[in-house]
């Protein structure tokens, strides 16, 4: 019996063993194949990064080498700088550097990219490179040369010592080994050097991208939870019996605020509001009531929203867009001063189209940008003169004066023209001083109606 059993089990066991060995070998081969592929991708990205940083240095040199009045070559050079910087940023994202402090270098490249793009796309015949921008290019040329040299030293060590990027991943994941790795040390050296560079004046268009706004910049004295409680009850038109829960958010951060939750007679119906800690300014309002079938038109909702804002202490607000989604109307309002729309002072209102009551309110941009009695210049161009800068095929439906922030984050007075061309609707903003097209916005078909 045992002989018969062993005669059956031995071949079966041998077959299973051989199968396990074959499976293990295949798994190991597949694993090695994946590791080799990942290593090759890392090596390619690193060597491409070194190449593109070197080319970035060269393009900055080419841009500086031409005559200061050579607008065409300046634009071409800046476009190439932007392209090379974008390539370098892409290659950094492909390397296993998430655990490595390389943020200063990434931010430095990001600023070069934004600076070169913003400068390269503008009309150099009207806005040539300034002395400050040329000075920036000289500093960037010097700095990029140093970064390129450091990366090439790391590259030479990688090639000479046959270093592997897979070891970098292992070293970064194992903190006690991360101190002794040639590639890691090389990238730390680059980031330390970049961190020591003096901050350049990138101009308002680039600086605004990295501007760390905070509620503290608003001014005003800090308010208490009791102050917020009174403000919340008043804004919600709640009775004295309403319960208010106030919670402080972001303590000791750049965005300290309060959240007030008002419960009426029906505990399922709550109203939530956010206030800044400095000054106690309302940022947002949300009424969570259930919305019934629509009975109010968008036009009626705009009228009701205007009355709501007037009542709550926001006079001179003008609706600039109104969209409908199911039973809710989304309205955008901006301040109107001396017949000029102030677009930076924007707020969004959500209306329940069943009753026409306000169910949502978002005013963070308004809170940050609001100024009493802005000094607005008179337009230098007449409406007829500004109209000449429009596309000849543009079919104008309305026009108005608007105060906007342009691509350089500079506030300018414009003529806003609404109309259509090529089967689509647009808002086109023409500078009221020199006729430059400051901005073009497509009006999507989803918009319920144009509020003017």
- 388-398: pLDDT as tens digits: 999 999 999 99
Residue with the bigger pLDDT between 394 and 40: it is 394
For residue 333, the 8-state DSSP code is E
d(CA 120, CA 72): 10
Taking only the tens place, the pLDDT of each residue in 349-386 is 999 999 999 999 999 889 888 888 888 999 999 999 99
* Virtual torsion, Cα 146, 150, 151, 152, nearest 10 deg: 100
CA distance 164 to 407: 44
pLDDT band, residue 163 (cuts 50/70/90) = confident
29-49 mean pLDDT: 74
Torsions phi, psi of 299, nearest 5? Answer: -60, -45
pLDDT for the residue numbered 165: 73
Q: What is the mean pLDDT of the chain?
A: 82
In the numeric block, the tokens 């963070």 are attached to 364
DSSP characters over 65-86 = HS-TT-HHHHHHHHHHHHHHHH
Distance CA 152, CA 263 (A): 64
What is the arithmetic mean of pLDDT over 233-259? 82
Its pTM stands at 0.69
d(CA 420, CA 393): 9
Q: What is the greatest pairwise CA distance in the chain?
A: 111
pLDDT band at 326 (very low <50, low <70, confident <90, very high): confident
Instruction: Determine the Cα–Cα distance for residues 93 and 97; give it in Å rounded to an integer.
Output: 8
């Amino acid at each position: 019996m045992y002989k018969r059993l062993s005669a059956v089990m031995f071949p079966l066991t041998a077959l299973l063993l051989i199968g396990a060995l074959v499976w293990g070998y295949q798994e190991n081969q597949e694993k090695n194949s994946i590791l080799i592929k990942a290593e090759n991708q890392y090596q390619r990205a690193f060597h491409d990064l070194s190449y593109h940083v070197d080319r970035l240095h060269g393009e900055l040199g080419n841009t500086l080498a031409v005559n200061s009045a050579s607008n065409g070559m300046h634009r071409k050079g800046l476009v190439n700088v932007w392209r090379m910087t974008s390539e370098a940023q892409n290659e950094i994202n492909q390397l296993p550097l998430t655990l490595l402090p390389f943020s200063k270098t990434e931010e430095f490249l990001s600023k070069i990219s934004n600076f070169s793009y913003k400068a390269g796309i503008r009309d150099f015949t009207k806005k040539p490179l300034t002395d400050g921008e040329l000075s920036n290019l000289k500093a960037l040329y010097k700095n990029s040369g140093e970064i390129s040299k450091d990366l090439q030293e790391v590259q030479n060590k990688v090639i000479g010592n046959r270093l592997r990027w897979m070891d970098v991943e292992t070293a970064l994941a194992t903190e006690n080994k991360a101190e002794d790795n040639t590639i890691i040390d090389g990238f730390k050296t680059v980031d330390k050097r970049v961190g020591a560079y003096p901050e350049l004046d990138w101009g308002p268009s680039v600086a605004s991208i990295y501007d760390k706004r905070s509620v503290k910049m608003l001014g005003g004295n800090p308010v208490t939870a009791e102050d917020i409680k009174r403000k919340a009850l008043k804004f919600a038109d709640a009775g004295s019996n309403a319960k208010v829960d106030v919670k402080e958010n972001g303590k000791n951060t750049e965005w300290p605020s309060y959240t007030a939750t008002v419960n009426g007679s029906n505990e399922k119906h709550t109203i939530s509001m956010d206030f800044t800690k400095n000054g106690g300014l309302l940022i947002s309002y949300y009424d969570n009531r259930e919305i019934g079938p629509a009975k109010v038109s968008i036009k009626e909702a705009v009228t009701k929203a205007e009355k709501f804002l007037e009542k709550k202490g926001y006079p001179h607000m003008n609706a600039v867009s109104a969209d409908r989604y199911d039973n809710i109307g989304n309205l955008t309002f901006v301040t109107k001063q001396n017949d000029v729309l102030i677009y930076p002072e924007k707020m969004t209102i959500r209306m329940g189209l069943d009753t026409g009551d306000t169910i949502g309110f978002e005013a963070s941009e308004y809170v940050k940008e609001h100024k009493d009695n802005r000094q607005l210049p008179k337009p230098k161009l007449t409406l007829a003169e500004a109209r000449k800068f429009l596309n000849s095929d543009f079919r104008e439906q309305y026009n108005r004066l608007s105060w906007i922030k342009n691509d350089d984050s500079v506030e300018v007075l414009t003529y806003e023209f609404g109309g259509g061309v090529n089967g689509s609707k647009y808002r086109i903003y023409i500078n009221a001083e020199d006729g430059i097209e400051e901005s073009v916005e497509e009006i999507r078909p989803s918009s319920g109606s144009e509020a003017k």
